[in-house]
Amino acid sequence: MIAALLKRDLAQFFPFAGSGAALPVVFFVAVAMLYPFAVGPDAQLLARTGGGIVWIAALLAAILPLERLVARDIELGMFDQLRLRGVSEEAMMAVRLAAHWLSFGPPLILAAFPAAALLNLDGETVRLLLLGLLAGTPGLAAIGVIIAALTASLRAGAALSGLLLIPLALPLLIFGAGALSRGDQASLGFVGAISLALVAVAPFAAGAAIRAAR
Amino acid sequence: MKGSDRAVPALKANALACRQGDRLLFRGLGISLSPGEACHVTGANGAGKTTLIRTLAGLAEPYAGDVRVEGTIGLLDERVALDPDQVLGRALAFWFGIDGVDDPSPVLARLRLADLAEVPVRYLSTGQRKRAAFARLIGQTPNVWLLDEPLSGLDTASQALVEALVAEHCKRGGITLIASHQPLGLADLHTVALEDYAPREEPAA
């Protein structure tokens, strides 16, 4: 049952699978491409600020698919039908979280290579950036699922999503991007810890949210 | 997830009251159905038929009273739970896979959906969608059918088909509760009119 759910969710969200599903990755690369044009071709400036830009791009790419993440299946009645078959809301949201991360996390980490080249990042920075994204993207996915479930039944959901995202994502950004400027790995440990906490909480928070929205 | 035959299916509601927002829809509603029985719930638009069905399905909390359902529940309402972007065959295959249906062709043939298997769900008409929802319901093989307006959008032939399906389901020992404002051509039908349970102007107690 869980495998069937994951398969369906992945088919919906994986890049190039459905309409607009590749958008987060395209968006991410586009930001990395445009940033040097916007600030000028100063190699030192790019190398110093590029890592932070990659983090912000990753953050925004993670919330691009939010509107499709939960609301659509509520409208379709998918969650009701699954509930009647004994699947808990928490399990549905855990599967959704896994599918959401798989569909943007690994592609984003791969896209970070060309992005790093475009931004003239050095080897050590790239290493910290990749480790940070690996540790941080599950947390971003968890934030995305929580926000999507919370705002699913609201009319102005999209506007609220942005507001909710900022405080939730700040810790990840501070430690993730901070690791780059300080060049220390300890911050990455914090990123991983925050991510784990978010991933652990997300299925319960999102499950309760869609139960309440019903 | 086949419908289990372990417990004797039953559907009971006792002194049930439901609200929509702050508005009390009905109160003091009692229903008791045993295997093979079907019940027709009537009521004007907004009387609370859908709320009743969702409460009986366990998807909404009753305001007062209690609900007890033995056996697996199948729900059919206006939301068909089929991916609109997928072709009908694949959208149904998702549920058939979960419900453990090995060979869907008899179900599809019965509901005259076999020719539509390659048509994306969003191109289907209302009636075709409803028939697809019935295919999903039959594949699930639940003991208790909760049908919310099952006849809306269906042509005469399809309405007769639905009535035949309900009769067969009850004959097999299943329970059916149908909320509909349309008359049903079914024998031995219990009827519950939600108007009889509507709250008075001055709320008693």
3-class secondary structure, B75: strand
- How confident is the model over A118-168, as pLDDT tens digits? 888 888 889 999 999 999 999 999 999 999 999 988 877 777 888 888 899
- Work out the burial of residue B24: count CB atoms within 10 Å of its CB; fewer than 13 is exposed, 13-18 middle, 19 or more buried: middle
**Distance of residue A72 Cα from the nearest chain B Cα, in angstroms:** 10
CA distance B86 to B122: 8
Look at residue B22 in the predicted model and tell me its pLDDT: 86
Res A170 pLDDT > 50: yes
Side chain identity, residue A166: I
pLDDT at B5 over 80: no
Supply the pLDDT for residue B38: 93
* Among the partner residues A4, A76, A84, nearest to B57 by beta-carbon distance: A84
| Span A101-109, average pLDDT | 89
Minimal C-alpha gap between A145 and chain B (Å): 20
pLDDT at residue A165 in the model? 86
- Beta-bridged to residue B24, according to DSSP, are B19
Mutant choice from B90, B98, B134 vs A, greatest count of A C-beta within 10 A: B98
> How would you write chain A as a 3-class SS string?
CHHHHHHHHHHHHCCCCCCCCCHHHHHHHHHHHHHHHHHCCCHHHHHHHHHHHHHHHHHHHHHCCHHHHCHHHHHHCHHHHHHHCCCCHHHHHHHHHHHHHHHHHHHHHHHHHHHHHHCCCCHHHHHHHHHHHHHHHHHHHHHHHHHHHHHCCCCCHHHHHHHHHHHHHHHHHHHHHHHHHHCCCHHHHHHHHHHHHHHHHHHHHHHHHHHHHC
> For B17-62, what is each residue's pLDDT tens digit?
998 888 899 999 999 999 999 999 998 888 889 999 999 999 999 9
Q: In percent, how much of chain A has pLDDT > 90?
A: 41
pLDDT tens column, A5-55 = 888 888 877 765 555 557 778 888 889 889 989 988 888 888 888 888 999
Q: Which A residues 17-46 touch B at CB under 8 Å?
A: 18-19
**What pLDDT is recorded for position B94?**
93
Percentage of chain B exceeding pLDDT 90:
71
Crossing angle for the helix pair A157-182 and A43-63, to the nearest 10 degrees: 140
How far lies B24's CA from each of B48, B49, B53, B64, B200, in Å? 9, 13, 16, 11, 10
- pLDDT at residue B9 above 80? yes
Residue B91, min C-alpha distance to chain A (Å): 10
The pLDDT, as a whole number, for residue B198 is 86
Q: What confidence score (pLDDT) does residue B3 get? A: 46
**pLDDT at B161 > cutoff 70:** yes
Binning pLDDT at 50, 70 and 90, where does residue B1 land?
very low
Q: Which residues of B touch A85 (CB under 8 A)?
A: 1, 98-99, 140
Q: Are B78 and B148 in contact (CB under 8 A)?
A: yes
Give mean pLDDT, residues B83-105. Answer: 92
Measured in degrees and rounded to the nearest 5, phi and psi for residue B10 equal -155, 150
**CB pair distance less than 8 Å for B1 and A77:** no
Measured CA to CA, the distance from residue B46 to residue B25 in angstroms comes to 8
Note the ipTM here.
Answer: 0.89
- Say yes or no to pLDDT of B2 above 50: no
